């Protein structure tokens, strides 16, 4: 069995920056365990598998795996898959079947190996729980209790398909100092997958509104996490006007030397969140063929 694959850097226009992704095409013959083994072989934060769609109007079905587990939804695989499909099929709209539901992305080609994709969240973010153990969070993150909180933002658990502990911190200097304390991590960040998305506002940066770092999911630190940015939309929306649209830019991965730029959009009407979207660029940096034998 031979399977073509492409390697991309997502949430960037520049090779060897952003969040790496493997996209494996023609994956219909693979068993679940084989997909998991291939994801472990690539050993990237996520590997996405493209399969024939169930709906005739849809472009592809997606299966998304970390090296350790399958995910129902993830942002950077969705962006990367949309760019691959947009480039290969020469379309400007891509309909992708994910476990969470149908995801439609708009695609714009930049050149023969890069493009931009924006998609509407298949599931709007919802608040799952507050986070009140400030001392515990500070210890888990290696910062002071007084560093937690940013303006009106307070810690909470949100999910737009994958749950994240959202922890606002005072400024970008605190964000840079975060150092994971594994001895208390899972006790403090106890919800599913134990993932913490630490973020702050960046009024001093003229082209960026927010900065974030993501820790957990068995990945250590992740350079660019679209599903966490999707969850963050829920908390951001709680602190905006009752009606209107917000368009924000979030940076992630700078502290790792893999800078990512994530586009966030959401809209409220009469106090209710009615739309959320994530966008970003991706560039193909390599391609090859998996040879799995007979």
2-120+281-291 fold: Diaminopimelate Epimerase; Chain A, domain 1 (3.10.310)
46 part of the active site:
yes
Residue position matching structure tokens 């515990």: 136
Residue in 204, 139, 138 with CA at minimum distance from that of residue 169: 138
Per-residue pLDDT at 8 exceeds 80: yes
pLDDT given for residue 151 in this prediction: 95
Please tell me which residue in 34, 41, 46, 204 is annotated as part of the active site. Answer: 46
pLDDT given for residue 9 in this prediction: 98
Per-residue pLDDT at 219 exceeds 80: no
Q: Residue 111 CB: number of other CB atoms within 10 A?
A: 9
pLDDT given for residue 193 in this prediction: 82
Percent above pLDDT 90 for the chain = 96
- Helix 75-89 vs helix 226-237: angle between axes, to the nearest 10 degrees? 120
Confidence of residue 217 (pLDDT cuts 50, 70, 90): confident
Full-model pTM: 0.96
pLDDT given for residue 230 in this prediction: 98
Confidence of residue 192 (pLDDT cuts 50, 70, 90): confident
2-120+281-291 and 126-279 share one CATH topology?
yes
- Within 8 A by CB and 6+ apart from 237, the residues are 125, 246, 266, 268, 273, 276
More confident residue, 293 or 221: 221
Span 106-154, pLDDT tens digits: 999 999 999 999 999 999 999 999 999 999 999 999 999 999 999 999 9
CATH superfamily, domain 126-279, is: Diaminopimelate Epimerase; Chain A, domain 1 (3.10.310.10)
pLDDT given for residue 241 in this prediction: 95
The residues spanned by each domain of the chain are 2-120+281-291, 126-279
- Alpha-carbon torsion angle 7, 196, 252, 90, nearest 10: 40
Q: Is the CB of residue 281 less than 8 Å from the CB of residue 115?
A: yes
Span 223-274, pLDDT tens digits: 999 999 999 999 999 999 999 999 999 999 999 999 999 999 999 999 999 9
Per-residue pLDDT at 204 exceeds 80: yes
Confidence of residue 293 (pLDDT cuts 50, 70, 90): confident
Q: What would the DSSP string read from start to end of 78-134?
A: HHHHHHHHHHHHT-SEEEEEETTEEEEEEEEEEETTEEEEEEE-SS--EEEEE---H
pLDDT given for residue 218 in this prediction: 75
Span 58-91, pLDDT tens digits: 999 999 999 999 999 999 999 999 999 999 999 9
């Amino acid at each position: 069995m031979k399977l073509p694959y492409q390697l991309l850097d997502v949430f960037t226009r520049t090779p060897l920056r952003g969040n790496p992704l493997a996209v494996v095409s023609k994956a219909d013959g693979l068993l679940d365990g084989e997909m998991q083994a291939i994801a472990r072989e690539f050993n990237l934060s996520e590997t996405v598998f493209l399969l024939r769609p169930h709906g005739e109007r849809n472009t592809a079905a997606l299966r998304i795996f970390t090296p350790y587990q399958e995910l129902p939804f993830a942002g950077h695989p969705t962006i990367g898959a949309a760019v691959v499909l947009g480039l290969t099929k020469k379309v400007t709209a891509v309909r992708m079947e994910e476990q969470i539901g149908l995801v439609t992305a708009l695609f714009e080609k930049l050149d023969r190996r890069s493009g931009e994709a924006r998609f509407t969240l298949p599931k709007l973010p919802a608040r799952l729980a507050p986070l009140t153990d400030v001392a515990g969070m500070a210890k888990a993150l290696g910062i002071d209790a007084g560093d937690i909180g940013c303006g009106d933002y307070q810690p909470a658990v949100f999910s737009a398909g994958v749950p994240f502990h959202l922890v606002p911190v005072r400024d970008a200097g605190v964000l840079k100092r975060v150092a994971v304390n594994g001895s208390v991590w899972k006790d403090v960040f106890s919800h599913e997958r134990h993932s913490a998305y630490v973020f702050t506002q960046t009024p001093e940066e003229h082209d960026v509104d927010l900065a974030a770092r993501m820790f957990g999911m068995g990945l250590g630190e992740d350079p660019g996490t679209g599903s966490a940015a999707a969850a963050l939309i829920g908390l951001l929306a709680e602190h905006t006007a009752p009606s209107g649209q917000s368009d924000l830019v979030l940076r992630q991965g700078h502290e790792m030397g893999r800078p990512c730029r994530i586009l966030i959009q959401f809209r409220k009407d009469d106090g209710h969140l009615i739309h959320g979207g994530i966008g970003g660029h991706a560039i193909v940096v390599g391609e090859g063929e998996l040879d799995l034998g007979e």
